[in-house]
Structure 1
Amino acid sequence: MTIGLIALAALAVLLLVRVPVGIAMIIVGFFGTLVFTNPTAAFATMTGETIELAMKLEIMVIPFFLLMGNLAGVCGLSRDLFDVANALLGRMRGGLASATVIGCGGFAALSGSSVAAAVTMGKVAIPQMNRFGYDDRLATGVVAAGGTLGILIPPSAGFAVYGILTEQSIGKLFLAGVLPGILLMTLFILVIMIVTAIWPHLGPAAAVMPRRERMQAVFRSLPFILVVLTTIGGIYLGVFTPMESAGVGAIATFFVALWRRSLSWSRIRLVLVETTTTTAMIYIILIGASIFTPFLARTGIPSALSAAMLDLELGVFGSMMLLMVAYLILGTFLDGFALLALTLPIVFPVIVSLGLDPIWFGVFMVVVLEMALISPPVGMNVFVLKSIVPDISLSHIYTGTLPFLLAMIVLIVLLVLWPDIALFLPETMGR
């Protein structure tokens, strides 16, 4: 136990001096194993775990879905999705904000990245909302919050990482995120309706789009809607494995991009570089976790924490609220992938000891990570959005996200009270 606590302190120091999370976990895991065993065993653990992880076929869903999302990003998909939602909702008070939520949800179904969704939709939606006199707080808050849907609505890189680290079905995790993702989008739109009903000046109605333009917007978005339905529907019906679905989605998106003549050599290069860079970052984190986790298990810290949580007798609801607060605090200075890799070796045994469904907990955890993305003082989506709109203060953006944080808390309460919101689709998968 003492060795484990020293190792965790060393890990914290490495993170404070800005050593990448994956590298820090490799260093601590290797030297911790060395203390318990010998150099031969430590090197064998490091190389063996790395090779075993790299050989897992299910890990290929990450680069394929990242490729699919990056291709969709260069095709102008975000504007098409926003135009469709605007055609349906723009005439309402707060309609452009609601259209932004739907656009973020649609883009999330292809990108799987919260930051990418916030950046892409921010560039499209914020100028439109500014043009119609939207308050800066609502305009930026809805983009920052809507962007978080990227790690909840499948395909989600967050679910893929969680599935690999906990050895759960990635396909079931993807399906588990569908209904909570739709519900969260609905809650966001409800928040917008309430806010604009109380303060109408925050989100005035936009101009009505002519019927012809509405039909054109719907037609432009149809290929991408078909891609999403094919990939997620194929997993649900048992036609595709998650890896096959990722490959089909990436190839289909590539052909849609060719059909729309959206690709050039410079764009192809940008897509490949971004996909490779993000994939390498995620792989390093996963390798670090695979080396760090066995060492941490040797220390007895996870089992001791499980026993301590059970002794507190907080029940499921109390335990989940305690974990939510802990993740919100950690999420203020760690990104989602790092947080998953660092905490799951400690937290997952607690979840198992409480008798909770691992698939359900994956959804719970992703929603909490979404909250961390827009929570002060260091919400990742807020800082990314600030780089797009430098003339709007951080305090305004954080103020705009507060109503949406409340919506996320409501979703968490609903998930705890009715777990079937997340578990219904996975349990009927392939029937």
Structure 2
Amino acid sequence: MEPWLIGIISFLVMMFMVFGGIPVFISMLVAAFGGFVALYHGDMTMVLTQFTNAPFNLGANYNYAVLPMFMLLGALAGETGIGEGAFSSMKAFLGRIKGGLLYTVIGANAVFGACSGSSIAGNIVFGKLAIPELEKAGYSRKYSLGCIAASGALSTLIPPSMGIIMFCLIAPSPLVYKGENMNLSVGSALMCGFGPGILTMIALGITVYLIGKFEKGALPPGGGPKVSTNEKIKSLKLLIPIVCLFGLIMGGTFLGWFTATVAGAIGATAICIYAFAKRVPFKKICYCIWDAAVMEAAIFPIIIGGQIFGRFISDTKLANFLSQAIADINAPPYVVFLLVMLLYILCGCVMDIVSIIIITVPIVFPILVNLGFNPYVLIIALCFMTEIAGLTPPVGMNVFATANALRVNPSEVFKGVLPYFITEVCIVALIGLFPQIVTVIPALLKVPGF
């Protein structure tokens, strides 16, 4: 049997197990084990070598320590009041205009993303902060919940982003791009999120405006207590912790003072010190540390399974075969890009964000790179697409995070998230058409790789 055919069969078996409700990491390990047995013609020595080396190499790779560090940073960012400060500052500037509180949610999520790196953290923090004020002001509950769930995705674009970091760790490297070997840099990838993040923030704001224009009664007319210029300027001090934390993490990484992994540790240490300074109860700090450890413990088996399955897919040359098949039928690269977007939306119906990245990257990423797409553009587009997939029923992790934080029925959130979902899908489609959205800011800043 041809190696690529073994790869296809194993992938289908794995997806069948996932759809059947079997945990993702078990599905990947079982499919990879059976695939390796078939690929190596029953040579168990080779199979067991793959299954023993990968867990050890991953456990010994300190680069993966960046994940729990940023998880801790995101957890403590919510406890120290950083999110509340971002919301209050944005509200001072935007609160009085029509739709101002929803613009505030979008802007605060973008600012909060500069230190949390987690969309779910934004969903929870701003859900609890904003919904009482939105309901009191007379905003449509449906569109308010949808805005909170959708704007959390900004944390995936505004660095430091957990999704981008994980993508860089999982993606095969070095890559052959335009005939040259290319090693992915986490720092360079993080800087690529600025342009799409700003564009998405503007697009979500336009969506809110259109909802107010065409849905009568969805948004109140605006107004409320006037905020003086002096008070607006004073509110900016609430952003100082975020600015300092962002400057420390991204400034140090960009200037080459330390790697992204070290930046995660420095950021986590800095936010712990800030938490003590804010007199956050020691018990809560310990809970955040425990929560980060538990999240890492849940993710790491999936990463191990994904790495082993990725090695299997690489050995079968499945990505190369599919790339050649696409070239032979002369499918336009952008059409393939759109099909991948559709695949991610379908995956989001049944899988969480981490699983989507780990399962799809070994196959999808090399195919699109071979078709001529810039690897950094793909990282941003596909990471954003996984977040958008988190808004789709029936699983929709971002929707369920918002619903659980507010103790509401997830169906309410799903109903209101549709216009924002369409907007964000359009942004990803634009990134595929105009890669300059991703590359222009890194090029201006002379980021390595641009």
For Structure 1 versus Structure 2, the TM-score category normalised by the shorter chain is: over 0.9
Structure 1 residues 187 and 383, CA gap change in structure 2 (3 angstroms): same
2: distance between equivalents of 1:322 and 1:32? 26
Q: Deviations over 1:78-109 (max 9, x none)?
A: 21111111011001000000000111112222
Of 155-164 and 11-20, more deviation after overlay is shown by 11-20
User: 1:8 is aligned with what amino acid?
Assistant: F
Q: Check the 8 A contact 1:161/1:286 in 2, yes or no.
A: no
Match of 1:239 in 2: 257
Match of 2:335 in 1: 318
1: distance between equivalents of 2:410 and 2:274? 38
Match of 2:181 in 1: none
1:85 maps to 2:85: no
Structure 1 residues 391 and 25, CA gap change in structure 2 (3 angstroms): closer
2: distance between equivalents of 1:325 and 1:216? 46
Of 97-106 and 222-231, more deviation after overlay is shown by 222-231
Matching of residues 186-205 of structure 1 within 5 Å: 186-199=202-215, 201-204=217-220, 205=222
User: 1:30 is aligned with what amino acid?
Assistant: F
1:414 maps to 2:430: yes
User: 1:84 is aligned with what amino acid?
Assistant: S
Match of 1:23 in 2: 26
Match of 2:275 among 245, 253, 257: 257
Match of 2:393 among 356, 376, 380: 376
Q: Percent of aligned positions with the same letter in both sequences?
A: 29
User: 2:287 is aligned with what amino acid?
Assistant: L
Of 349-358 and 9-18, more deviation after overlay is shown by 9-18
Match of 1:170 among 186, 196, 202: 186
2: distance between equivalents of 1:312 and 1:105? 42
User: 2:330 is aligned with what amino acid?
Assistant: E
Of 399-408 and 72-81, more deviation after overlay is shown by 399-408
Q: Displacement, 1:233?
A: 2.6
User: 1:7 is aligned with what amino acid?
Assistant: S
Q: Check the 8 A contact 1:289/1:342 in 2, yes or no.
A: yes
Match of 1:299 in 2: 316
2: distance between equivalents of 1:237 and 1:160? 18
Please give the TM-score of this superposition, normalised by the length of structure 2: 0.89
Q: Displacement, 1:210?
A: 4.2
Of 91-100 and 143-152, more deviation after overlay is shown by 143-152
Q: Displacement, 1:18?
A: 3.1
SS in 2 for 1:78: helix
2: distance between equivalents of 1:312 and 1:206? 58
Q: Displacement, 1:172?
A: 1.3
Match of 1:424 among 432, 440, 445: 440
User: 1:95 is aligned with what amino acid?
Assistant: G
User: 1:275 is aligned with what amino acid?
Assistant: A
1:281 maps to 2:292: no
Q: Deviations over 1:302-352 (max 9, x none)?
A: 222212222332323212111111111111111111011111111122112
Q: Displacement, 1:213?
A: 5.6
User: 1:365 is aligned with what amino acid?
Assistant: L
Q: Check the 8 A contact 1:149/1:370 in 2, yes or no.
A: no
RMSD (CA atoms):
2.2
Q: Deviations over 1:171-198 (max 9, x none)?
A: 1111111211121111111211232234
Structure 1 residues 393 and 161, CA gap change in structure 2 (3 angstroms): closer
Which segments of 5 or more consecutive residues in structure 1 lack a partner in the other structure? none
Structure 1 residues 144 and 83, CA gap change in structure 2 (3 angstroms): same
1:219 maps to 2:232: no
Match of 1:11 in 2: 14
Match of 1:397 in 2: 413
Q: Displacement, 1:229?
A: 2.4
Match of 1:361 in 2: 378
2: distance between equivalents of 1:393 and 1:134? 18
SS in 1 for 2:225: coil
1: distance between equivalents of 2:395 and 2:253? 36
Q: Deviations over 1:266-288 (max 9, x none)?
A: 20221111111111222222211
Of 313-322 and 66-75, more deviation after overlay is shown by 313-322
Please give the TM-score of this superposition, normalised by the length of structure 1: 0.93
2: distance between equivalents of 1:248 and 1:273? 18
Of 383-392 and 224-233, more deviation after overlay is shown by 383-392
User: 1:192 is aligned with what amino acid?
Assistant: V
Q: Displacement, 1:420?
A: 1.9
Q: Displacement, 1:26?
A: 2.3
Q: Deviations over 1:222-248 (max 9, x none)?
A: 122211122123323333321222122
Q: Check the 8 A contact 1:104/1:147 in 2, yes or no.
A: yes
Structure 1 residues 17 and 322, CA gap change in structure 2 (3 angstroms): closer
1: distance between equivalents of 2:348 and 2:327? 25
User: 1:416 is aligned with what amino acid?
Assistant: G
Q: Displacement, 1:217?
A: 3.6
